[in-house]
Amino acid sequence: MKDGPNVVRIAALIGDHARADVLTALVGGQALTATELAHVAGVTKQTISGHLAKLVDARLLAVESQGRHRYFRLADRDVGELLENLMGVAYRTGAVRLRASPREPALRFARVCYDHLAGELGVLAFDSLEQQRLVKAGDDGLQLTRRGRGFCDALGIDIGNLSQERRPLFRACLDWSVRRHHLAGALGAALLRRCFDLGWARRANGSRVVNFSPQGERAFRERFSLNSRGTRVAVSA
């Protein structure tokens, strides 16, 4: 007996080269037009229209009209995390591009994963919260401790407001480039917004890359520090 949802249709949609390029281009949470996505995928406007229709029909993409333009984005965070995990598996199994992008090192260092910080600095934030025991294991996964809430308050992140959101406050997302977890969930998104608001970093135009200024990176590392060994510690309830 075959149980559970049938993944064949979704796998086939993602498995097409042009559609995979479209989905990967949208992992950063931005919305792009059909013309922009045709350029990304290296196909004609007529061809991209067919691909986009299939992705929207499968609820992998959502579309919004503004004036004469239609903007396409990932349907939700679950799709973004699915793609990030697929990239992790591809990277781990050696399915990498023959010619790496010039932005590859910057993407590995700091990038947007749907709406939160990924890459080396994203993993650093997750590791630091664990090591400083600002999170603890709970029935629903990792949760902020009282000290963790104080840490967020000092950083200018309102945990009370975030707790009202329907999404999880604290969530681990497997990072494809570092192969460890970075911080996702409402807190992960709030942290990335705070980095932008404080002027520590800005998003590169037309890219998932997050560029930290020297001062911003220093401030980030001061708050999310690790001990001299740089090892992760077990988190107890």
What is the predicted pLDDT for the residue at 49? 93
- CA proximity to 20, closest of 51, 62, 59, 63: 51
pTM to 2 decimal places: 0.69
- CA proximity to 127, closest of 194, 183, 200: 183
CATH tag for 8-75 (out of 1.10.1060.10, 1.10.10.10, 1.10.3720.10, 1.10.530.10): 1.10.10.10
pLDDT digits (tens, 9 = 90+) for 181-228: 898 889 999 999 999 999 999 999 878 899 999 999 999 999 999 875
- CA proximity to 177, closest of 100, 235, 232: 100
Which pLDDT band, with edges at 50, 70 and 90, does 54 fall under? very high
Q: What is the rounded CA–CA span in Å between residue 217 and residue 192?
A: 13
Answer yes or no: is pLDDT of 64 > 60. yes
Location of each CATH 1.10.10.10 domain in the chain:
8-75
What is the predicted pLDDT for the residue at 237? 27
What is the predicted pLDDT for the residue at 47? 94
Q: Residues 65-84: what's their mean pLDDT?
A: 86
State the amino acid at position 22 in one-letter form.
Answer: V
- First-to-final CA distance of the chain: 40
